Structure 1
Amino acid sequence: MRFSRPEQFFIAAGAGLGALASLAVNTGWIARGGTFPPFVYVLLALAVVEVVAGFATKQPPGTLFSMPARILAFALGVGVLLLLTGSLA
């Protein structure tokens, strides 16, 4: 499957958000045993990116990216989070 240019940027944003979440965990901004596990922050940030991208391109949010691109972006974000922190929680 080929991803469009916006989907490629969204997938890269997922990896970047995973790195940001791991930075927040490693510096103590997000507690490892807190109410929300760190991967939830990756998921919420991807939702914000999708809504902002939808408004920026004047398309309804939710129609810009396909479901495989969303799943891959989340999986990469969680993967980067796992690599850099060593655990999910």
Structure 2
Amino acid sequence: LVPWLGSRWLLTNLVHDLALGVGLYAAATGIMGYKAGQKSYCNLPGYSQHCLYGAYLSASVCGGITACLYLFSGLYCLSRRCRDQRDII
């Protein structure tokens, strides 16, 4: 993909990381956080039924971490683009 995009590689990576990556992971984090909030009754002492609270909570945390990593990656590419550094080819 890099040889075809050439000098547009950093801009394409920036759009992917910021618009798609952060947006989709933030949406998934919000959904998982909402589902974890719905299942918060599972943390009560003595609750014996199977519950996915831990899975929803861990998915929400992982989604948040991944969204932050995508954001930092996109900002790094933006700073490279603004400083007119050479492309990664």
- The bucket for the TM-score relative to the shorter chain is 0.3 to 0.5
- After TM superposition, the score normalised by the length of structure 2 is 0.35
